[in-house]
Structure formats: structure tokens, C-alpha cells
Chains A and B, each alone.
Chain A
């Protein structure tokens, strides 16, 4: 009996682990590293949340960008700014239901004032917001507010040539 309970707990634990794997946790140090990176990969980092309507509306632009440049040095990273208590109940199910293929990470910081400035000085914390970096080209772009696929594509295209 004890053994089977242990196995069940073990199984539940690994399922939990698998689900959690889909949405990695990041923190302010991750942002700092991203901003300092010197790689020739173009990082397209979008700050969003499941409850944010304009954010959800523009997810298809990022998904399209992700699939268009799949075989190029482009990495789309969607940073969820949802409440921590909704990570399992809302964010992970959302990512699964929408079949999001871009990398999704979760901003694991309780005090937004500790990390917003690390993204960009002009970031007030209103989402959506998008940061595009190509360290090797010294390229950096930040926009608070909504964005179109055309703008994303116009920025990314010259960076991968």
C-alpha cells in the first residue's frame, strides 16, 4: 500500500515536472543577461499576460515570426507577467490550449519595481511591451504598447542577413 502511494505521488510529481517544464521561471538577472548578451541570435522578447487583451491579440504575430524564422538565428521568448498563483491554473493551460510554439517563460519576481527598469529605462510596466536584441550587431529596440507583424518583420529581417 505504502509503495503504491509512493508510486502515485512519484508519478504526480513527474507530471507536475513535465508541465512546469513548458514554462520556465526567469527573474531579473535573466533580463540583465539578455540585455548584455553578445550572441548573433536575434532575441524577440515579448512581455504579456493571459488577462491582457491586447497582449493575447498580438500573440499570433509572435507565433508567425517564430515559425517564419524557425531555421534562422531568431529566438522568440514570451515572458508571462501573470500572477504567480495562476501559473499552474491559468498560464500553463493557456499555453497548451493555444498550442504556443514560441518559448514561454514566467517572470518569477514578486516586486515589479525590481525588474521593470532592467528591461528598459522607458518601460513603465504597461503591457504588452517588446524588446528586440541582437548583441553581436549592437542592436536594441524597445516598444511599450502593441506591435504589428510588419514592424516585427521589418526589424528582424535585416538583422538575420
Chain B
């Protein structure tokens, strides 16, 4: 019996040490999100502070290779078309390690942005520091921020809508509902949602 308990205890230690801590260290609603300086597909460095007229941002961790990111690609383009003029542009960030996901290299980002005519910036988080700071775990993973006197406040974290597979079967547009609430000065009803996505390919 003692041996069993010891084995279980040992296992627990092994388990505890194998937990990833990204969830605990990422942003929660109400936190102030860090600005960054990342390279866009046009070769220029971009920071959130560059957007002088923005009321906030739709920061999306996404990538080229992930089928879920691809399923949402057109919807992200549509989000930008709908909300950039209202003060909330899309800021897309690819955090994947190119050695683990060669399709997500900077060169391939440039190609994809060109082919799909991205109307928004598509930035490369090569060091993965921004994805880690935000607590992003998957692609796509979105963070809606509002610009305040004290910084960029996290207002919404999660999914774009409730059906990744079929845009026509979407019944709840989580991101749009959050943006509409912000624009109307009303509280956001659902501030956190979850979706299946590809794990961010962290450097090994």
C-alpha cells in the first residue's frame, strides 16, 4: 500500500512539473496589454501606438498553416473591413516557430498576405514574446483591446464566433458582439469564449 501511495505521489510530482503555465501568465479581462514592435509583411516595423486614430485593436494570433486559421481567414478580412473604419483595425500576428511550421515562415507570410490581399498588417512574432505575454495558446486566438489613458485594456479574449466550420451556420458572432458593445459604450456580455485551434508552435 505504501508503495502505491509513493508511486502516486511521485506521479503527481511528475505531472505537476509537466504542466504548461501559459494559461496562468496570460492576460485576463481588464489587464493592460503590452504594445510591441514587430515586423510587418511589407518589411516595416509596426507598433500599436502607430495607430493614432484607433479607438482600440482586434489583435489576432493566427498563422498560415492551421486549418482553423484558414477557415477564419475571410471572416478576419471581413472584420477588418467592417471595424477598421469604426476605430478597431485588425492586427494579425503569427507567433509560430518556422522550424516547426515551415509554412509559417516570414517569407510565406509575405506570400499569403499578398495572395489573399490582406487589408490589415500581418506581423511576425519571431521571439514569441508577445504571444507569451498575451497568453495566446492557439491559432486563431483573439484579443480585443481598447485604448485608454493608462494603456491598452483587454476587453475580450477568445473565439471569433461559434462555428469555425460553417460561416453560414454561425448563430453568435462573439467578436462582433463585443465590438458593437464597445462602440455603443455598453458592457460586453461574453468576454471570454473558447474554440478549437492549432497549438502555437513554440520553439523547442
Contacts and interface: CB of A to CB of B under 8 A. Distances in A.
Interface of A: 49, 51-54, 81, 83-85, 110-113, 116-117, 122-128, 139, 141, 143-147, 151, 154-155, 157-158, 161
A127 B68 CA distance: 12
B109 interface: no
Nearest to A50: B67
A145 B100 CA distance: 14
Chain A contact surface mostly? mixed
Interface string B146-159: 00000000000011
A154 B14 contact: yes
Interface residues of B, number: 37
B184 to A, nearest CB: 23
A155 B15 contact: yes
A146 B19 CA distance: 11
Nearest to B26: A124
B62 interface: no
Contacts of A158: 4, 7-8, 11
Contacts of A125: 137-138, 159, 194-197
Contacts of A113: 158-159, 162, 174, 193-195
Contacts of A54: 199, 201
Interface stretch (B84-92, B117-125, B164-172): B164-172
